[in-house]
């Protein structure tokens, strides 16, 4: 049975990456927003092991996306200055 929590996790998995990649101006929503959403779900009662694993995986993806975004910002700054 799919729960509201499962749907929320699936939604975050779909949109978080695209939002973090954003456009030339940077992320549409910052990593802090997504981290807050994920931690809200982690605070929920009675998470299943599968839900915990999914949320953990999304947190790891977010770490990678934030690193890519900050690296991209550093590259854009270096290119515009140079």
pLDDT digits (tens, 9 = 90+) for 6-39: 999 999 999 999 998 887 777 899 999 999 999 9
Q: For 3-7, 20-24, 41-45, 62-66, which range has the lowest pLDDT when averaged over its residues?
A: 20-24
Angle value at C-alpha 39, between 41 and 74, nearest 5 degrees: 135
Instruction: Tell me how far apart the alpha carbons of residues 80 and 58 are, in angstroms, rounded to a whole number.
Output: 32
Mean pLDDT of the chain: 87
Domain map of the chain by residue range? 4-81
Residue partners of 9: CB distance under 8 A and separation at least 6: 41, 51, 54, 55, 58
- What does pTM read for this prediction? 0.83
Residue 25 is predicted with a pLDDT of 76
């Amino acid at each position: 049975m799919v729960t509201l929590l499962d749907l929320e996790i699936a939604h975050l998995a779909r949109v978080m990456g695209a939002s973090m990649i954003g456009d030339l101006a940077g992320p549409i929503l910052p990593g802090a927003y997504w981290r807050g959403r994920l931690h809200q779900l982690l605070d929920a009662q009675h998470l299943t092991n599968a839900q915990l694993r999914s949320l953990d995986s999304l947190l790891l993806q977010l770490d990678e996306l934030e690193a890519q975004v900050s690296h991209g910002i550093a590259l854009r700054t270096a290119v515009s200055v140079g």
